[in-house]
Amino acid sequence: MRRSILTGLLALGAFTVSAQQDPSWEPVFRKINDEVQQHSKAYSTLKDATETIGHRLTGSENGKKAETYAFNLLKSYGFTDIQYQPFEVESWSRGQLAVSAGSKSNLQPVKSVSLAHSPVKVDLTAELVDMGNGLDSDYVAKPGIAKDKIALVYLGTLPGTTGRSLHRSEKTAIAIKYGAKGIIVINTVDGGTLLTGTASVTGKLIPIPAVCIGKEDGMRLKEQLKTGALFSRINMTNFSGKIKARNVIATIKGSSLPQEKIVVGGHLDSWDLATGAIDNGIGSFSVLDMARTFQQLQLKPKRTIQFVMFMGEEQGLLGSKAFVHEAIKNKQIDQLRYMLNFDMTGDVRGFSSSAPEAQPLFQAIGSIAQQIDTVFTNSFSSRAGLHSDHQPFMLQGVPTGGGGGGRGANGPAGCYHADCDVFSLVNSEQGMKNTVKFVSMLLYGLGTADSIPAKKLSDEETKQFLLKHNLKEPLQLEGEWRWKD
């Protein structure tokens, strides 16, 4: 009996996948595979950009160079419908920083790095207080202990503790809420590695200084605090001002359903400690090569496809927020059928989507990809998270997705946002080719399918989706929760 039921379910699954397939996909997917395997430029252009531009910090001269580089690259691929999408941002860049800690009369230097959107100028000396993981529960357990002090918090979740691991910006917002005058974040990576990134949930300047220190220094301070009071001095200068940055958008207009749009993007910008090869060179330069592949093969899907290089992701999803704001303003938000985001995505072997109902279509596409190259596992996951360029789309109910299932980003995970995020970490050209070719197949399948089962959610449906995925608390901290209970 059980075997009969299982056989029936397997047959139903096979029928569902096969029913979703289009017979025209297979020859096109083979052309995509051959083109990418033989002529991909994702790896070589990323290498060139890291060598000739360096970092790609939004608002900096290097950031402008990166925008121009992407625009000219798309133009060289034969695109005529390319545009800059300018937006105004509060530019932030680091200046000088000195952090010390110890007894009140014997403060010793501590290696550190400023977190973005810290104030322009601060010279603060205050008592240091251990706030554990930096969650609301840590402050509630010790009422008033952080007021007018510098909170020492762990970036992730301390061993032996429980609770949600919030983003560094959300932990900073909590520290501010409970009256802290500064925050020192302990990195989770061994070897004294320092992490940068924004400490602001809004992309605007925060009222307190925020810095990151190495794991070993941070854990040493935690131990010392068990036996007596410690103080810390944070002396920093930074730079901030309004500037313009630009998303770069290349469009292939749909042949028969041009009003239905699929956006595929990745953030072009990076932090300034290194050249951002992994975050997010492997994602953004893979998307650029997807665009090249479509143009080279003269692929004409039914639906419009927009290849987008977002700027300002690192400072608070500024470019993707500008894109969505413009779509709402122009009453085109309902035209967005899917947003595929590639942030630190390396060596794609499977697909993902926020909409589980898309699984049959995604895996129908993937089953053909797997026949062409068995390295593709055709795995599927349905999940939802924050803090990358899919977020503004997701908050408007647009289905989002991407890829994964392979070895992921190359190099040590500890180089995330650190000074070791350089091109030598990208140790697999084939990994980038896999991302380009398999996602190009997904794009073409979505662009030509008779129908896409995932629909744009209504406002109430979006709320329930976010509640289901436990995203209310972090969105409230960001000021992005628009619903009233």
pLDDT, tens digit, 9 for 90 and up, residues 129-151: 999 999 999 999 999 999 999 99
* 91 pLDDT more than 90: no
27-34 long-range contacts (CB < 8 A, ≥24 apart) are 28/297, 28/299, 28/444, 29/368, 29/369, 29/372, 29/441, 29/444, 30/372, 31/297, 32/293, 32/297, 32/437, 32/440, 32/441, 32/444, 33/372, 33/373, 33/437, 33/441
Pair 135, 276 in one domain: no
Cβ pair 89, 245 in contact under 8 A:
yes
**Cβ count near 385 (within 10 Å):** 13
Give yes or no for residue 8 having a pLDDT over 80.
Answer: no
pLDDT of amino acid 165: 86
The answer, as to whether pTM is greater than 0.85, is yes
> Both 217 and 282 in a single domain?
no
Only one residue has tokens 């279509």, namely 361
**Six token digits for residue 118:** 């810290």
> Which of these, 332, 296, 290, lies nearest to 308 by C-alpha position?
290
Least confident of 245-254, 259-268, 414-423: 414-423
Q: Is the model's pLDDT at 22 over the cut of 70? A: yes
Residue 158 has pLDDT above 90, yes or no: yes
Q: Please state, in angstroms and rounded to a whole number, the distance separating the CA atoms of residues 245 and 241.
A: 12
Would the pLDDT of 263 be above 80? yes
Question: What is the C-alpha to C-alpha distance for residues 235 and 478, in angstroms, rounded to an integer?
Answer: 27
| Domain-terminating residue out of 240, 272, 289 | 240
One domain, residues 234 and 274: no
Q: What is the CATH number of the domain that holds 342?
A: 3.40.630.10
334, 422: one domain: yes
Residue 324 has pLDDT above 70, yes or no: yes
Q: How far apart are CA 315 and CA 129, in angstroms?
A: 27
Neighbour count for residue 202 (Cβ, 10 Å) = 16
Residue 386 lies in a domain: yes
Compute CA 8 distance to the chain's CA centroid, rounded to the nearest angstrom.
40
Claim to verify: residue 410 and residue 292 sit in the same structural domain:
yes
Specify the pLDDT at position 236. 98
**Does one domain contain both 209 and 136?**
yes
Backbone φ and ψ for 49, nearest 5 degrees, come out as -65, -40
Instruction: Report the run of H or E that residue 93 belongs to, with start and end.
Output: strand 82-103
- Cβ atoms < 10 Å from Cβ of 477: 20
Whether 423 and 461 map to the same domain: the answer is yes
Residue-level pLDDT at 112: 98
Last residue of a domain, one of 240, 275, 303: 240
- Work out whether strand 210-213 and strand 112-114 pair parallel, antiparallel, or are unpaired: antiparallel
* pLDDT at 5 > cutoff 90: no
Positive or negative, the CA dihedral 86, 288, 53, 169 is positive
The answer to whether residue 14 sits within a structural domain is no
Q: Are residues 117 and 228 in the same domain?
A: yes
Instruction: State the pLDDT confidence band at 411, using cuts at 50, 70 and 90.
Output: low
Strand 400-404 relative to strand 336-341: parallel, antiparallel, unpaired?
parallel
Within a 10 A sphere around the Cβ of 413, how many other Cβ atoms?
12
Q: Which tokens go with 302?
A: 């039914």
Residue 414 has a pLDDT of: 80
Domain boundary among 212, 240, 268: 240
Contact 41, 292 (CB under 8 A): yes
Does a structural domain hold residue 117? yes
Which residue bears the tokens 């400490």? 199
Write out the residue range of the structural domain in which residue 141 sits: 91-240
According to the model, what pLDDT value does residue 242 have? Answer: 87
Residue 4 forms part of a structural domain: no
Q: Which two tokens stand for residue 107?
A: 């403060």
In a domain, 102, yes or no: yes
Tokens for 184?
């020192």
Would residue 5 count as lying in a domain?
Answer: no
Comparing 131 with 2, which gets the higher pLDDT?
131
> How far is Cα 144 from Cα 129, in angstroms, rounded to an integer?
11
Q: For residue 406, what pLDDT is reported?
A: 65
- The separation between the first and the last C-alpha atoms of the chain, rounded to the nearest angstrom, is 48
Residue 10 has pLDDT above 50, yes or no: no
Q: How many domains, the chain?
A: 2
**Residue with tokens 């910008």, as numbered in its chain:** 269
| Residue 66, token pair as written in the block | 């990166």
Whether the per-residue pLDDT at 408 is higher than 90: the answer is: no
Q: For residue range 221-239, what is the model confidence (pLDDT) as tens digits?
A: 999 999 999 999 999 999 9
pLDDT at 477: 87
- pLDDT bin (cut points 50, 70, 90) of residue 471 is very high
Whether residue 107 is found in the same domain as residue 69: no
Please give the Cα distance from 40 to 54 (Å, whole number).
Answer: 22
Domain identity same for 148 and 268: no
AA letter at 476: Q
Instruction: Place 419 in a pLDDT band, splitting at 50, 70 and 90.
Output: confident
CA–CA distance from 244 to each of 70, 349, 388, 470 (Å)? Answer: 17, 37, 20, 34
pLDDT in tens, 292-320: 999 999 999 999 999 999 999 998 899 99
Cis-peptide, bond into residue 280, ω within 30° of zero: yes
Judge contact between 207 and 238, C-beta under 8 A: no
Specify whether 160 is located in the same domain as 286.
Answer: no
Contact between 115 and 147 under an 8 Å Cβ cutoff? The reply is no
Same domain, 185 and 42: no
Mean pLDDT of the chain: 93
Please state the φ and ψ torsions of residue 448, each to the nearest 5 degrees: -115, -5
Report the CATH number that the domain containing residue 186 is assigned in CATH: 3.50.30.30
State the CB neighbour count (10 A cutoff) for residue 4. 8
8 within some domain: no
State yes or no: pLDDT of 3 exceeds 80: no
| Cα 162 to Cα 141: distance, rounded to the nearest angstrom | 14
Residue 17 lies in a domain: no
- What's the average model confidence in pLDDT over 250-276? 97
